[in-house]
Amino acid sequence: MTIETAIVALSDVLGDRLSRSKSDLDAHGMSETHFAPAPPDAVAYPETTDDVSRIMAICHAHGCPVVAFGAGTALEGHTSAIRGGVSLNFSRMNKVLSVHPGDLEAVVQPGLTREELNRELRNTGLFFSVDPGANASLGGMAATRASGTTAVRYGTIRENILALEVVLADGRVIRTGSRAKKSSSGYDLTGLFLGSEGTLGIITELTVKLRGQPEAISAGVCGFDAIGQAVEAVVAVIQMGVPVARIEFVDTEAVRAVNGYSGTDLPERPHLFVEFHGSVASAAEDAQRFAEVVADFGASDVRVATKTEERSALWTARHHAYWACLGLRPGATAVVTDVCVPISKLAEAVEETRADIAASWIPGPILGHVGDGNFHAILLVDPKAPDDLGEAKRLAGRMAERALRLGGTITGEHGIGMGKLGYMEAEHGAAWEVMGEIKRALDPAGILNPGKVVRGN
Amino acid sequence: MTIETAIVALSDVLGDRLSRSKSDLDAHGMSETHFAPAPPDAVAYPETTDDVSRIMAICHAHGCPVVAFGAGTALEGHTSAIRGGVSLNFSRMNKVLSVHPGDLEAVVQPGLTREELNRELRNTGLFFSVDPGANASLGGMAATRASGTTAVRYGTIRENILALEVVLADGRVIRTGSRAKKSSSGYDLTGLFLGSEGTLGIITELTVKLRGQPEAISAGVCGFDAIGQAVEAVVAVIQMGVPVARIEFVDTEAVRAVNGYSGTDLPERPHLFVEFHGSVASAAEDAQRFAEVVADFGASDVRVATKTEERSALWTARHHAYWACLGLRPGATAVVTDVCVPISKLAEAVEETRADIAASWIPGPILGHVGDGNFHAILLVDPKAPDDLGEAKRLAGRMAERALRLGGTITGEHGIGMGKLGYMEAEHGAAWEVMGEIKRALDPAGILNPGKVVRGN
């Protein structure tokens, strides 16, 4: 009863849907950020829920670890197979199973990416709103409780998933939630599996909420003299209830990176990127109210983009900011922080963080979904410099402590994986024990993504 | 180690915060609907989280059941002490602990009612949006995952609670969530306790989201020739994305009841009650779009109420509809159904239900929060007529089966309690087992609200 015996049994069932090629193993052991490679012993390519159920039953019987793998865009080492075992690659379970336009719902498989989903929806007048930047898989987004630029208006994935199909550790298949818009029927298992990072079950189907394409979209950028002014402007916009669809902060260093990478010509100062959705009248009214508020905080260089191409260029530049920042230090890898604080504490959190990074030798541009109080420092680490990773982790640790001191959380949207395990006790105290009790109830053998989220797993 | 030894130990700790008076026991064993009285053996009146923690530790050690009690407005026998034990009355933990206007948040105790909270917020320009009609306690609303008339715009309690303090079965105190607007930090324990009906832990503090008072509110009613037209109009309004703040269906029988009880003079035909929130311009634009849509479905008798008193009279009449319906059959008690279906199936669900009830001798007015696909039949049962309760339960059972057949849920907002246990397997299948596994992990002695939500509890 070992990983090896499990793989023999899996091979009988899966045939060529199980791979042990070195390139496959290496590709599934990689991390998007600074984690050392940790390849699995085999990669399975399930094509149906039944495949997943049979894989889990075998791995359960043999005590073999299982790590779900979507698009590989996780930032905290979620998909690293640190105890070996089998990586479940969902690229063959990537269909839109049904679209229900009248109910604003679609049923999809976990390997489908958000861009693929929105491409398929293009002619329906509907879209899926959650947009973490990366072209992540829906299963992965659900498993990490992802959000991104539009959460300020449309909510995170938590508010945009109605129902799941999940395969449990022992191979049982369950359905959570329903196609009804709300329910009080027992424990919210959908919510429990969202954000569980593959440690409680494997998501094999998702019923997602869709939104009507807004009649009008307008977008803009504006610059500020100082970080504090930009962030205070955001706080005022949110507190006044201006219904921004996106509102993103990009600091001076990140602006420099974006200009270099995407060919934009933004002045090198802190900026906000903003977008409004609505009727022609309401989007214009919202943009006007926004302009009035930010003017009070010294906003200048205001540019408005109402044409699709202009908007597209703007948001593509924002979405590529991570790679743009990596480009600031060629050869660097990143420690990406992800704190989220109450909006009233945002200016304090960002300014203290900026000062802390400025006092270090590590470059760390800051950007984020500030309408939700969520921001990231991209701490650039030279893998060959012996002290860099330690210094970046020290800065990240101080950001986490600062967020907790201000009533916030250590991760707004990236999740725990391996990278934030060390702060879980500080954030959750005895509630972290409760997470472990739930984990042991649903996965007594500890085969689901071991080493992630909970203690001693 | 019995209930009696627990009560002796509790008495030592609580003194006069523990009552065994017959009137107290009777008041806590009552049900708002058709359930037989099931009084506890004692009623505790905790004043602090520490009180609750000590009560739980004692009850855990003695194997004594504990049932949390808020305002007593549950409809499915949630607070009935069917295995005896201690009822925890939260009327002394009813404070607003803090309000954070800049963050649109407040921290409150579970015994506070929603009307009390909104009274305290009156001068802040903010309000708490979740409105189940009854003046329920916040703790009770959280425990049943309540929603009500405004959920179509502002979400259910699930979207309006950021964080909880919870006392576990063994007396441990945990905090879930944070004051940040979103988080990906581990399992969503807040979501797990919301809707757990006191079976996983006792909620002792809630951080709730607040909303800005809209600049303008307008409301209206309109009548239709037939149920089908009224419901089809709702479906069109929702599918077209008109941002109604409330949209309520009231059938002919319920209109008759409301007229009799609240002195309104609505024509005796199916009606919609509707409300719009926004800027002066947007509320007017929304009302205009609504009027255009419903005109296509033959709406008539359209009345608009922009003055506060008119609106207030309208919604008071709607909120009193339950008691108004009870008045249709003096001496009656009610079986209140609560199905929720995908909006595309709403007309089918309501019309089949209407026909089913019409073929029975049980009166059953229908009303509901139709913008979410959620509606209720108030099945009026004469407690002295031997066959009435059975017939009402048969009708309720057929509604539940119909909702499941149409992709919906057996309860949109009232919860499971005792009344819907019998449908849990049909709705959830193996997922119901998973709920039981979680229950046993967090409450191995089975002392938290036994006999509710999960099997064999």
Q: Are the C-beta atoms of A161 and A155 separated by less than 8 Å? A: no
Same-domain status, B157 and B233 = no
Identify the pLDDT of residue B308. 85
| Residue A438 included in any domain | no
Chain A residue numbers touching B415 (CB-CB < 8 A): 184-185
C-alpha distance from A410 to closest chain B C-alpha (Å): 7
State the Cα–Cα distance between residues A7 and A20, nearest whole angstrom. Answer: 10
| Residue A435 included in any domain | no
Classified as helix, coil or strand, B110 is coil
Domain C-terminal end among B165, B181, B212: B212
Give CB contacts under 8 A, 24+ apart, made by B7-11: B7/B41, B7/B42, B7/B64, B7/B86, B9/B58, B9/B61, B9/B62, B10/B42, B10/B44, B10/B55, B10/B58, B10/B59, B10/B86
Q: CB B416 to CB A185 under 8 A? A: yes
**Count of alpha carbons within 13 angstroms of residue A86, beta-carbon side:** 34
Identify the pLDDT of residue A203. 98
Q: CB A178 to CB B105 under 8 A? A: no
Chain B residue numbers touching A183 (CB-CB < 8 A): 145, 340, 409, 411-412
- Helix (H) / strand (E) containing B426: helix B421-428
Q: CB A420 to CB B185 under 8 A? A: yes
| Residue A310 included in any domain | yes
* A408 closest CB neighbour out of B178, B187, B342: B178
Chain A residue numbers touching B184 (CB-CB < 8 A): 144-147, 195, 338, 409, 411-416
Same-domain status, B353 and B424 = yes
Q: CB B188 to CB A145 under 8 A? A: yes
Residue A386: how many other CB atoms lie within 10 Å: 8
Chain A residue numbers touching B234 (CB-CB < 8 A): none
Classified as helix, coil or strand, B274 is strand
**Count of alpha carbons within 13 angstroms of residue A424, beta-carbon side:** 24
Identify the pLDDT of residue A306. 75
Q: Which of A160, A181, A343, A374 to mutate to test the interface with B (most CBs of B within 10 A)?
A: A181
| Residue A453 included in any domain | no
* A180 closest CB neighbour out of B192, B409, B416: B409
Identify the pLDDT of residue A283. 86
The beta strands (E) that lie in B195-323 are given as: 202-209, 211-212, 216-223, 246-250, 271-278, 300-305
Q: CB B410 to CB A438 under 8 A? A: no
Domain, as residue range, for A65: 3-91
Q: CB A174 to CB B434 under 8 A? A: yes
State the Cα–Cα distance between residues B418 and B76, nearest whole angstrom. Answer: 6
Per-residue pLDDT of chain B (457 residues; tens, 9 = 90+): 799 999 999 999 999 999 999 999 999 999 888 899 999 999 999 999 999 999 999 999 999 999 999 999 999 999 999 999 999 999 999 999 999 999 999 999 999 999 999 999 999 999 999 999 899 999 999 999 999 999 999 999 999 999 999 999 999 999 999 999 999 999 999 999 999 999 999 999 999 999 999 989 989 999 999 999 999 999 899 888 888 999 999 999 999 999 999 999 999 999 999 999 988 888 888 888 899 999 999 998 888 887 888 888 889 999 899 999 999 999 999 999 999 999 999 999 999 999 999 999 999 999 999 999 999 999 999 999 999 999 999 999 999 999 999 999 999 999 999 999 999 999 999 999 999 999 999 999 999 999 999 997 6
C-alpha distance from A238 to closest chain B C-alpha (Å): 9
Q: What are A368's two structure tokens?
A: 């984020």
Q: What are B143's two structure tokens?
A: 């425990």
Q: What is the CATH number of the domain that holds A422?
A: 3.30.70.2740
State the Cα–Cα distance between residues A288 and A309, nearest whole angstrom. Answer: 22
Percent of chain A surpassing pLDDT 70 = 100
C-alpha distance from A384 to closest chain B C-alpha (Å): 31
DSSP β-bridge partners for residue B339: B375
Q: Which of B97, B184, B196 to mutate to test the interface with A (most CBs of A within 10 A)?
A: B184
Same-domain status, A144 and A234 = no
Same-domain status, B181 and B249 = no
Q: What is the CATH number of the domain that holds A12?
A: 3.30.43.10
Q: Are the C-beta atoms of A329 and A368 separated by less than 8 Å? A: no
State the Cα–Cα distance between residues A56 and A203, nearest whole angstrom. Answer: 12
Cα Rg, chain B, nearest whole Å: 22
Mode of pairing for the β-strands spanning B216-223 and B339-340: unpaired
List the single residue in A with minimal CA-CA distance to B232: A102
Same-domain status, A259 and A333 = no
| Per-residue pLDDT reduced to its tens digit, A56-79 | 999 999 999 999 999 999 999 999
Q: What is the CATH number of the domain that holds A280?
A: 3.30.70.2190
Q: Which of A107, A156, A183 to mutate to test the interface with B (most CBs of B within 10 A)?
A: A183
Q: CB B442 to CB A438 under 8 A? A: yes
Same-domain status, B444 and B387 = no
Same-domain status, A101 and A69 = no
| Residue A184 included in any domain | yes
C-alpha distance from B160 to closest chain A C-alpha (Å): 11
Question: Where does residue B355 rank: exposed (0-12), middle (13-18), buried (19+ CB within 10 A)?
Answer: exposed
Q: Which of B183, B338, B346, B448 to mutate to test the interface with A (most CBs of A within 10 A)?
A: B183
Q: Which of A182, A348, A452 to mutate to test the interface with B (most CBs of B within 10 A)?
A: A182
DSSP β-bridge partners for residue A246: A275
Chain A residue numbers touching B174 (CB-CB < 8 A): 428-431, 434
- In sequence order, which residues have a C-beta less than 8 Å from that of residue A404 and are 6 or more positions away? A410, A423, A426, A427
* A187 closest CB neighbour out of B179, B195, B413: B195
Q: Are the C-beta atoms of B455 and B217 separated by less than 8 Å? A: no
Q: CB A100 to CB B344 under 8 A? A: yes
* B430 closest CB neighbour out of A172, A191, A438: A172
Chain A residue numbers touching B342 (CB-CB < 8 A): 100, 103, 105, 179-181
Residue A323: how many other CB atoms lie within 10 Å: 13
| Residue A339 included in any domain | yes
Identify the pLDDT of residue B311. 87
Same-domain status, A133 and A205 = yes
Identify the pLDDT of residue A336. 95
State the Cα–Cα distance between residues B4 and B159, nearest whole angstrom. Answer: 41
Q: Angle formed by the axes of helices B227-239 and B280-295, to 10°?
A: 140
| Residue A442 included in any domain | no
DSSP β-bridge partners for residue A19: A43
Q: How many CB pairs under 8 A join A and B?
A: 261
Same-domain status, B420 and B445 = no
Minimal CA–CA distance to A423: which of A439, A410, A438?
Answer: A410
Q: Are the C-beta atoms of A249 and A270 separated by less than 8 Å? A: yes
Backbone angles phi, psi at B185, to 5 degrees: -90, 85
How many domains are contained in chain A? 4
| Residue A412 included in any domain | yes
Per-residue pLDDT of chain A (457 residues; tens, 9 = 90+): 699 999 999 999 999 999 999 999 999 999 888 899 999 999 999 999 999 999 999 999 999 999 999 999 999 999 999 999 999 999 999 999 999 999 999 999 999 999 999 999 999 999 999 999 899 999 999 999 999 999 999 999 999 999 999 999 999 999 999 999 999 999 999 999 999 999 999 999 999 999 999 989 989 999 999 999 999 999 899 888 888 999 999 999 999 999 999 999 999 999 999 999 988 888 888 888 899 999 999 998 888 887 888 888 889 999 899 999 999 999 999 999 999 999 999 999 999 999 999 999 999 999 999 999 999 999 999 999 999 999 999 999 999 999 999 999 999 999 999 999 999 999 999 999 999 999 999 999 999 999 999 997 6
Same-domain status, A170 and A220 = no
Chain B residue numbers touching A191 (CB-CB < 8 A): 158, 188, 191-192
Q: What is the CATH number of the domain that holds B165?
A: 3.30.465.10
Q: CB A188 to CB B192 under 8 A? A: yes
State the Cα–Cα distance between residues B155 and A184, nearest whole angstrom. Answer: 13
Q: What are A414's two structure tokens?
A: 């990236």
3-state secondary structure chain A: CCHHHHHHHHHHHHHHHEECCHHHHHHHHCCCCCCCCCCCCEEECCCCHHHHHHHHHHHHHHCCCEEEECCCCCCCCCCCCCCCCEEEECCCCCCEEEEEHHHCEEEECCCCEHHHHHHHCHHHCEECCCCCCCCCEHHHHHHHCCCCCCHHHHCCHHHCEEEEEEECCCCCEEEEECCCCCCCCCCCHHHHHCCCCCCCCEEEEEEEECEECCCEEEEEEEECCCHHHHHHHHHHHHHCCCCCCEEEEECHHHHHHHHHHHCCCCCCCCEEEEEEEECHHHHHHHHHHHHHHHHCCCCEEEEEECCHHHHHHHHHHHHCHHHHHHCCCCCCEEEECCEECCHHHHHHHHHHHHHHHHCCCCCCCEEECHHHCEEEEEEEECCCCCCHHHHHHHHHHHHHHHHHHCCCECCCCCCCCCCCHHHHHHHHCHHHHHHHHHHHHHCCCCCECCCCCCCCC
- Helix (H) / strand (E) containing B88: strand B86-89
Chain A residue numbers touching B103 (CB-CB < 8 A): 342-344
Same-domain status, A398 and A381 = yes
Q: CB B428 to CB A185 under 8 A? A: yes
Q: CB A412 to CB B279 under 8 A? A: no
Domain C-terminal end among B271, B291, B323: B323
Give every strand in the sheet of B173-177, ordered side by side.
B96-100, B105-108, B202-209, B161-167, B173-177
Chain B residue numbers touching A415 (CB-CB < 8 A): 184-185
State the Cα–Cα distance between residues A280 and A259, nearest whole angstrom. Answer: 31
Same-domain status, A151 and A207 = yes
Domain C-terminal end among B37, B59, B91: B91
Position of tokens 């329906």?
A: A124
Dihedral through CA A420, CA A194, CA B438, CA B137, nearest 10? Answer: 100
C-alpha distance from A345 to closest chain B C-alpha (Å): 9
